[in-house]
Amino acid sequence: MKTKFDKNKTKKIVEETATKTVKFTFRIVKLAFIIILIYTILVSLWIYFRAEPDEFLTEVATLSIGGFWAFFLGYFGWRMGQTIEEYFTQIKKKK
Q: What is the pTM of this model?
A: 0.50
Of the CA atoms within 13 Å of residue 60, those in its CB half-sphere come to 4
What pLDDT does 31 receive?
A: 95
The rounded average pLDDT for each run of 10 residues, N- to C-terminus, in the chain (95 residues) is: 77 88 92 91 78 69 86 88 88 75
What pLDDT does 53 receive?
A: 56
d(CA 95, CA 88) in angstroms, rounded, equals 11
What pLDDT does 29 receive?
A: 92
Instruction: Name the helix (H) or strand (E) containing 45.
Output: helix 7-49
Please enumerate in sequence order all residues whose Cβ is within 8 A of that of 52, keeping only pairs 6 or more positions apart, or say none. Answer: 58
Domain boundaries, the chain: 7-94
| Longest CA pairwise span in the chain (Å) | 76
d(CA 49, CA 46) in angstroms, rounded, equals 5
